[in-house]
Structure 1
Amino acid sequence: MSDKTTPPAGETPEAVETEQVPVEQRAPEAPVAQADPPPAANRVLREILTSNWLISLLAIVVALLIGAILIAVTDPAVQKAAGYFFARPGDTFRAIWESVSGAYVSLFQGAVYNPKRGDFVNAIKPLTETLTFATPLITAGLAVALTFRVGMFNIGGRGQILVAAACAGWVSWSIDLPAPLHILLATVAACVGGAVWAGIAGVLKARTGAHEVIVTIMLNYVAFYLISYLLKTPGALQAPGANTPKSPPALPSAVYPTLSDLLGVGSYRLHLGFLFAIIATIWLWYLLNRSSMGFRFRAVGENPHAARVAGISVTRVYIVAMLLSGGLMGLAGASQVLGTTTTGFAAGVDAGIGFDAITVALLGRSKPWGVFFSGILFGALKAGGYTMQASQGIPIDIVLVVQSVIVLLIAAPPLVRSIFRLPRPDAEPPARRKRTTATPEAVTK
Structure 2
Amino acid sequence: MTDTAVSAPSRSVVTEIPGPNSRALLERKAKAVPQGIPHQLPVFIESAHDAIITDVDGNRFIDLGCGIGVTTVGHTNDAVVAAVREQVGKLTHSLFGTTPYEPYVRVAEYLAKHTPGDHEKKTFFVNSGSEAVENGVKVARRHTGRRAVAVVEHGYHGRTNLTMTMNYKPAPYATGMGPLASDIFHAPGSYPLQDGLNGAEAAERTQYYLEKHVGVTDLSCLVIEPIQGEGGFIVPAEGYLAAMQEWCTEHGVVMIADEVQSGICRTGTTFASEQLGWVPDMVLSAKGIAGGMPLAGVTGRAEIMDSVHVGGIGGTFGGNPVSCAAAVAVFEQIEADDLNGEAKRIERVLRPLLDALAEEHPEIIEVRGRGAMLAIEFIDPSSGAPIPTAPIAQAAGLDGVLVLTAGTDYNVLRFLPSLAITDDQLREAVEVIGRAIASTKTA
TM-score band, normalised by shorter chain: under 0.3
TM-score by length of 2: 0.27
TM-score by length of 1: 0.26
| The structure with more radius of gyration | 1
Determine which structure has greater relative contact order: mean sequence separation of CA pairs < 8 Å that are 6+ residues apart, divided by chain length.
1
